[in-house]
Amino acid sequence: MLSLLPAIRFFHHRWSVPTVARLYRDGPQRVAQLQQAFNAARDTLAETLRRLEEAGVIQREPAPRSARCSLTPAGVAVGAACVEAVEAVLAMDLVDLALRKWPMLVLVAVGRGATRFNQLRAELPGITPRALTLALKDLQAAGLVQRTVEHTYPPSTLYDLTPRGQQLFSVMDRLCRAAEAAAP
Domain CATH for 124:
1.10.10.10
What pLDDT, on the 0 to 100 scale, is given for residue 182? 81
Three-state DSSP class for 124?
coil
- Dump pLDDT digits (tens) for 32-62: 899 999 988 889 999 999 999 988 899 988 7
What are the CA-CA distances from residue 156 to residues 29, 144, 148 (Å)? 49, 20, 8
Q: What is the DSSP letter of 152?
A: S
What pLDDT, on the 0 to 100 scale, is given for residue 65? 65
- What is the mean pLDDT of the segment spanning 10-26? 92
Q: Is this model's pTM higher than 0.75 or not? A: yes
What pLDDT, on the 0 to 100 scale, is given for residue 63? 66
Provide the number of structural domains found in the chain. Answer: 1
- What is the mean pLDDT of the segment spanning 26-32? 92
Percent of the chain with pLDDT over 70: 96
Three-state DSSP class for 71?
strand
Q: What are the start-end ranges of the E strands in the chain?
A: 29-30, 58-61, 68-71, 145-150, 156-161
- Dump pLDDT digits (tens) for 100-146: 989 999 999 999 999 999 999 999 999 999 999 999 999 999 999 99
Torsion sign, CA atoms 127, 15, 110, 132? positive
Distance CA 164, CA 12 (A): 24
Residue 117 CB coordination number (10 Å): 16
Distance CA 44, CA 31 (A): 12
Q: Which domain holds residue 26?
A: 5-182
- Dump pLDDT digits (tens) for 55-89: 889 998 876 667 799 999 999 999 999 999 999 99
Quick check: 24 and 141 in contact, CB under 8 A? no
What pLDDT, on the 0 to 100 scale, is given for residue 124? 94
